[in-house]
Amino acid sequence: MDIICESCQSKFNIPDEKIPEDRSASLTCPKCKNKIVVPPKAKPSSEPSGISGFDFIEDDEPPAKSEAPAQEYQPSEPDSSMEKPFDFIEEEGRTALICETSPEVISQIKTVLDYMEYHVTEAHNTRDALKQMRYHDYDLIIVNENFDTANPDTNGVLMYIARMPINIRRHIFVALLSKRFKTLDYMMSFVKSVNLIINERNIPEFETVLQRGMADTDILYKTFKDSLKRAGRL
């Protein structure tokens, strides 16, 4: 499917097999960062139908099927956006990014997040995580302090999060997986610029600890958020 950004008129090609069939999805234009909403995949018909807000361009010949992995497809226009991710984020539900290397830990966390109806993305390394955060807004980020680094104090993902503008950062819940710090250590959470610390020994209780941390954060920021709403800034 060819998609044209309404804001900057850039043209991108998205493989049909990556487009959800039963619900809308969204992606961020790598040039102007405009949010592009993609409707569910249309059923085949004899005549092309127009969808408001999107331009569909038909080629004389259908593109050949590619055996390349999904993450290798690129925008049709060769420019600096070639490395920018085009993962679809479903319109419904919340989103989460996992920055962890242990398959066992990832499996336990994903089981909980799937139950909580999060759309989950896994980052393979720091570079991948930063690209995902740059072009997608996540409700929840879970990062191991040793993710893609031998020194937890120079964790690239945590450094990026700490430097986020406050108007963006306050809408993201960040959980730090640690061997050094205790679970629910809020003083150290403040020092590390995260919302919650979960010691790796408590991964089996991940759901309980996460929900406790989120509840405490909601209580902490309730008055602040209510003030922003009354001022029309939230």
Higher pLDDT, 64 or 229: 229
Higher pLDDT, 43 or 190: 190
SS3 for the chain is: CEEECCCCCCEEECCHHHCCCCCCEEEECCCCCCEEEECCCCCCCCCCCCCCCCCCCCCCCCCCCCCCCHHHCCCCCCCHHHHCCCCCEECCCEEEEEECCCHHHHHHHHHHHHHCCEEEEECCCHHHHHHHHHHCCCCEEEEECCCCCCCHHHCHHHHHHHCCCHHHHCCCEEEEEECCCCCCCHHHHHHCCCCEEEEHHHHHHHHHHHHHHHHHHHHHHHHHHHHHHHCCCC
Structure confidence at residue 10 as a pLDDT band (50, 70, 90): confident
Q: What percent of the chain has pLDDT over 70?
A: 74
3-state secondary structure of 201: helix
Higher pLDDT, 129 or 44: 129
Is pLDDT above 90 for 187? yes
At 141-168, the pLDDT tens digits run 999 999 999 999 999 999 999 999 988 8
Q: 194: buried, middle or exposed (CB in 10 Å: 19+, 13-18, 0-12)?
A: buried
Q: CA dist 70 to 63, 65, 87, 186, Å?
A: 15, 12, 9, 40
The helix (run of H) or strand (run of E) holding residue 36 is: strand 35-38
Structure confidence at residue 83 as a pLDDT band (50, 70, 90): very low
Domains contained in the chain, CATH given: 1-91 (no CATH), 93-230 (3.40.50.2300)
Structure confidence at residue 98 as a pLDDT band (50, 70, 90): very high
The answer to whether 206 and 171 have CB atoms below 8 angstroms apart is no
Task: Indicate the range of 78-82, 205-209, 215-219 predicted with least confidence.
Answer: 78-82
> Which pLDDT score, from 0 to 100, does residue 219 have?
85
Arithmetic mean of pLDDT over the chain: 79
Instruction: Pull the structure tokens for residue 3.
Output: 């998609």
The answer to whether 6 and 18 have CB atoms below 8 angstroms apart is no
Instruction: Report how far residue 33's alpha carbon sits from residue 7's, in angstroms, rounded to the nearest whole number.
Output: 9
Task: Indicate the range of 78-92, 102-116, 149-163 predicted with least confidence.
Answer: 78-92
